[in-house]
Amino acid sequence: MSLVVYNTLSREKEPFVPLDPSHVRLYVCGPTVYDYVHIGNARPVVVFDVLYRLLKRRYPRVTYVRNITDIDDKIMVRAAENQESIDALTERTAAAYRSDMSRLGALSPDVEPRATKYVGEMIALIERLVERGHAYAAEGHVLFDVPSMEDYGRLSRRSHDELIAGARVEVAPYKKDPADFVLWKPSTDAQAGWQSPWGRGRPGWHIECSAMSSALLGETFDIHAGGLDLIFPHHENEIAQSRSAFGHAIMAKYWMHNGFLNISGEKMSKSLGNFFTVHELLDQYPGEVIRLLLLSAQYRQPLDFTPEGLAQAKATLDRWYGALRDIGKSPAAVVPQSIEDALSDDLNTPMAIAALHQLANQVYQQGGPGLAAADLKAGAGALGLLQQDPEAWFRWTPAAADGPSDAEIEAAIAARQAARKAKDFKESDRIRDDLRAKGVILEDGPKGTSWKRG
């Protein structure tokens, strides 16, 4: 089945036809690095990682760019608070981000550009916009001239009048039109800044993505993705910048946006204090559990992130890894058609997960590993799941745990076996209950006793 994706531009599912079938180009908006990212930031990373894996299976060459924003006023404020340099702060948090995303099973993008390395490209792009009559300088700022673009607002489906009517922010006096947005702004001596034709300053938020995507993927490319909240203003303004600068009818052919994450039914927000960083969650749950939960709803739907959801994802992975326990050297298998079909329909991960359940059921019904187990592993691989050794999975332990060591568990199991052999079931049950109280669950099988951490 050929790939169909929901394109925010048309608000419809469309067949995916790359601009250049020999080279598919994908851009995903990455984080602003000033602290650990929260779980909401992880959703696009995981979801579009599934897309990246799918594209790599089907096209000879895929370039995936995910930027790191290391210029931002929030960064400057945090660096001052921490009394550390901007470089130290962004380097440290970017490293943590890479590590956390990797633990969620996300492949590294092909290119991870940092905005500070592209300031020259940004300035060149802004100059080009000024030359073409789409931008103007005013009081040290450079602003994009929104009325200069005929169909501004197409992505977010907003008319110019609606924008002005809905504006919640006081309009700066140097703007020719209230909808105009900043491309470049002046910096004080105390603020980070770069020399430019308009004096020392720093870039506005949107220009970096236009500069980096055009430098790395070209003036037009296939897919641009990110969170729903980026549709306006960020992506709308990227489109305005890139199309006006380069004169193309499109910037990206397909725009894909993931839905929001709620925390136990409530909107995640810093004022409610109900957000989790990926970093802290990874101390409590395996990255794979978090990843499966993030994929358990279709990416455009809202997703409620709850302790129950994490427990269910854990239980599912326990069952799946159980099915792979004695798989041995698995024969190489391709991703089963049922999984490819599900993912081809706008990344229908819940349907892919249902297909994995069917495969796991088959493994158990057959009473052991076989072709179904190889299919299960290959199919789960399309979602970035089930690739580690099953025993390692069952032995995972939270960072703060102080339970018995693997060796202690093995010793207790041996003692229990001896008691069982002597028909001393009172003692054998005592040992089992004792381990259970410490979070270790025993399973007696035909090949002896196996165990897992609950």
Binding to RNA, residues 192-251 (CB under 7 A) = 204-205, 226-233
Indicate which single residue of 36, 59, 174, 260 sits in contact with RNA (rule: CB under 7 A).
Answer: 260
Report the site for RNA in 427-446 (rule: CB under 7 A).
428-429, 432, 441-445
DSSP letters for 185-248: EE--TTS--B--TTSSEEE-TTHHHHHHHHHHH-SSEEEEEEEGGGIIIIIHHHHHHHHHHH--
User: What SS3 state is found at 126?
Assistant: helix
- Judged by beta carbon, residue 213 or residue 428, the one nearer RNA is 428
Q: How far is the CB of 23 from RNA (least distance, A)?
A: 25
Map tokens 């490819």 to a residue. Answer: 340
Return the SS3 of 289: helix
- Taking the complex as a whole, the smallest distance from the CB of residue 415 to RNA amounts, in Å, to 12
Selected range binding RNA among 111-119, 239-247, 301-309, 399-407, rule: CB under 7 A? 301-309
Q: How far apart are CA 136 and CA 426, in angstroms?
A: 85
Binding status of residue 361 toward RNA by CB under 7 A: yes
E strand or H helix that includes residue 4: strand 4-7
Q: How far apart are CA 443 and CA 422, in angstroms?
A: 19
Is the Cβ of residue 311 or residue 411 nearer to RNA in the bound state? 311
Instruction: Provide, rounded to whole angstroms, the least separation between the CB of residue 214 and RNA.
Output: 19
Q: Which residue has the tokens 């749950």?
A: 285
**CA 444 – CA 452 distance, rounded (Å):** 12
**Which segment (85-93, 246-254, 256-264, 398-406) binds RNA by CB under 7 A?**
256-264
**Identity of the residue, 23 or 140, whose beta carbon is nearer to RNA in the bound complex:** 140
Tokens representing 16 are: 């995916």
Binding status of residue 146 toward RNA by CB under 7 A:
yes
Please tell me the distance from the alpha carbon of residue 194 to that of residue 203, in angstroms, as a whole number: 9
**Number of residues written out for the chain:** 454
d(CA 292, CA 362): 21
Closer residue to RNA (CB): 253 or 432: 432
Q: By CB under 7 A, which span of 58-66, 210-218, 299-307, 376-384 interacts with RNA?
A: 299-307
DSSP state at residue 157 = T
Q: Which of 53, 185, 291, 377 binds RNA (CB under 7 A)?
A: 185
- Residue selected from 23, 319, 395, 438 as contacting RNA according to rule CB under 7 A: 319
- What DSSP designation does 446 have? T
Smallest gap from residue 21 Cβ to RNA (A): 26
Task: Pick out residues in 383-422 that bind RNA (CB under 7 A).
Answer: 420
User: According to the binding rule CB under 7 A, does residue 344 interact with RNA?
Assistant: no
* Residues of span 82-141 touching RNA by CB under 7 A: none
Determine which residue in the list 116, 215, 348, 382 makes contact with RNA, applying CB under 7 A: 348
- Asked whether position 166 contacts RNA by CB under 7 A, the answer is yes
Of 147, 302, 307, 370, the one binding RNA (CB under 7 A) is 302
Which stretch, 76-84, 96-104, 132-140, 176-184, contacts RNA (CB under 7 A)?
Answer: 176-184
**Cα(390)–Cα(258) distance, rounded to whole angstroms?**
31
User: Among 267, 307, 415, 422, which residue sits at the site for RNA (rule: CB under 7 A)?
Assistant: 267
By C-beta, is 21 or 425 nearer to RNA? 425
CB 263 within 8 A of CB 275: yes
Q: Which of residues 42-81 bind RNA (CB under 7 A)?
A: 43-44, 72, 74
Q: For residues 378 and 328, is the Cβ–Cβ distance under 8 A? A: no
State the Cα–Cα distance between residues 94 and 35, nearest whole angstrom: 9
- For residue 444, the minimal CB distance to RNA (Å) is 3
- 369 binds RNA per the rule CB under 7 A: no
Please pick, from the candidates 83, 150, 168, 273, the single residue that binds RNA as defined by CB under 7 A.
168
Other beta carbons within 10 Å of 183: 28
Q: Which of 158, 243, 253, 291 binds RNA (CB under 7 A)?
A: 158
Enter the tokens of residue 87.
């470089």
Cβ closest to RNA, residue 18 vs residue 227: 227
Pick from 182, 239, 240, 290: which binds RNA (CB under 7 A)? 182
As beta bridge partners, residue 25 has: 63
Among 32, 148, 241, 344, binds RNA (CB under 7 A): 32
Number of residues that bind RNA (CB under 7 A): 81
Choose one: 24-32, 89-97, 113-121, 378-386; the region binding RNA (CB under 7 A): 24-32
Contacts of 204 (CB under 8 A, 6+ apart): 181, 182, 183, 184, 185
Nearest Cα to Cα of residue 122 among 233, 214, 208, 225: 208
Q: Spell out the alpha helix ranges (H) of 23-145.
A: 39-58, 73-82, 86-103, 119-131
